[in-house]
Amino acid sequence: MAQQVASAPSPGFRGPAGGNRPPPLRGYQRDIYGALDLGTNNCRLLIARPSDGGFTVLDAFSRIVRLGEGLSSSGKLSQDSMDRAVEALGVCADKLRRRHVTLSRSVATEACRRAANGRDFIARVKQETGIALDIISPREEARLAVLGCHKLLEPGDGPALIFDIGGGSTELVLLEQGDTAPRIRAWWSAPWGVVSLTESEGQEAIEGKDRVAAYGRMRERVLRSFAHFIEMLPDNPRNVRLLGTSGTVTTLASVHLALPAYDRRQVDGLHVPVGDMRRISTMIAEMDFEQRSGLPCIGSERADMVVAGCAILEAILDIWPADTLGIADRGIREGILRSLMARDGYQL
């Protein structure tokens, strides 16, 4: 559900449903939209204003909060992880107020879906920050990711696979060409993301002397979770396209480009040969923590989770015979913004 913000804005205030919401004031500063995505690993915010054929970003925020840390073993969100997330959401709430956002949507994904105390956490967030989080379904998560990034697909009339490697799950969406935009033919949510897969294998195994074997086990675990989705894929598809949106693919693309620091302008929309992505994934899996931390676009913040991301990526490459991988530094937040703006009549 979208959030309508009054003239004295409060990120938690939800406007009336359906047509009772007051019309937007087109062309005024009040035409400002917000999109917040609280995932298992990251908290991300975008604030934007509609522009010709799209939108202009006014403010952004991203922080690794690891909300799902320990969830695989305990079934609950830990106190520390919730505290980190609430702190980050407080920053988001301040930005929404200062930018005078008039309509926003805030969503939570796999960690809050799975956690026994997920609803209690949502209530705490509302009370302490004013942000009203919607726990969305895997299907809605996949839809928003596709809406946010499908314009970066390579041209063609063959089938396309878009994937989003998250912290607690991975969404796979099979698309076919429609009259004006791709249509979703099938989708799948696998229960493995960079946090959940890392915890299932154990950090000691990933960092140990047999880490290559541990990497192989993770790949196989993910591949097994794709079994039902594989049955939905077309036989011997031609002219296939592949697009990934997540911190994993943008990080590996940065390594591919040997960037000294992350640069969205060089990464978003890049197409990388699949063979190169496999070589980078194998190289990273063979490194120890210190070696991975030394890579400029990985660093110590991502070094412990990136191996699991590589394993998930390679499992995806195993099931979809594309020659190149498209990289999207956009996804759920952009999908939210596009859906809110389109609802208000903007042509995007």
Domain end marker among 118, 136, 154: 136
Whole-angstrom distance, CA of residue 334 vs CA of residue 347 = 15
* Mean pLDDT, rounded, for 153-179: 92
Domain end marker among 121, 136, 151: 136
Residues 181, 291 within the same domain: yes
Q: Which of 235-239, 274-278, 338-342 has the lowest mean pLDDT?
A: 235-239
Token output for 290: 């210190």
pLDDT at 109: 95
Average pLDDT value over all residues in the chain: 90
Token output for 303: 């070094």
Within-domain flag for 248: yes
Domain end marker among 100, 121, 136: 136
Higher pLDDT, 233 or 20: 233
Phi, psi angle pair for 77, to nearest 5°: -75, 130
Residues 99, 218 within the same domain: no
* Mean pLDDT, rounded, for 325-346: 94
Q: Which residues contact 345 (CB under 8 A, 6 or more apart)?
A: 24
Residues 311, 192 within the same domain: yes
Residues 242, 324 within the same domain: yes
Burial 307-345, CB ≥16 within 10 A → b, else e: bbbbbbbbbbbeebebebbbbbbbbbbbbbbbbbbeebe
CATH number, position 40: 3.30.420.40
Sorting pLDDT into bands at 50, 70 and 90, what band is 3? very low
Residues 181, 316 within the same domain: yes
Sorting pLDDT into bands at 50, 70 and 90, what band is 30? low
Within-domain flag for 306: yes
Q: What is the count of structural domains for the chain?
A: 2
Sorting pLDDT into bands at 50, 70 and 90, what band is 128? very high
Q: How many CB atoms lie within 10 A of CB 303?
A: 20
Q: How much of the chain exceeds pLDDT 90, in percent?
A: 83
**Residue 279: pLDDT over 50:** yes
Token output for 346: 């903007």
**What confidence tens digit (pLDDT) does each residue in 46-93 have?**
999 999 878 999 999 999 999 999 998 999 999 999 999 999 999 999
Residues 297, 166 within the same domain: yes
Q: How much of the chain exceeds pLDDT 70, in percent?
A: 91
pLDDT at 13: 32
**What confidence tens digit (pLDDT) does each residue in 7-26 have?**
333 343 333 233 334 444 44
Residues 152, 289 within the same domain: yes
* Mean pLDDT, rounded, for 171-176: 95
Residues 132, 144 within the same domain: no
pLDDT at 323: 96
Q: Which residues contact 73 (CB under 8 A, 6 or more apart)?
A: 199
pLDDT at 77: 97
SS3 286: helix
Q: Which residues contact 200 (CB under 8 A, 6 or more apart)?
A: 72, 192, 218, 221
The domain of 118 spans: 3-136
Within-domain flag for 181: yes
- Which among 128-137, 230-239, 295-304 has the top mean pLDDT? 128-137
CATH number, position 237: 3.30.420.150
* Mean pLDDT, rounded, for 105-114: 96
Within-domain flag for 7: yes
Sorting pLDDT into bands at 50, 70 and 90, what band is 347? confident
Sorting pLDDT into bands at 50, 70 and 90, what band is 122? very high
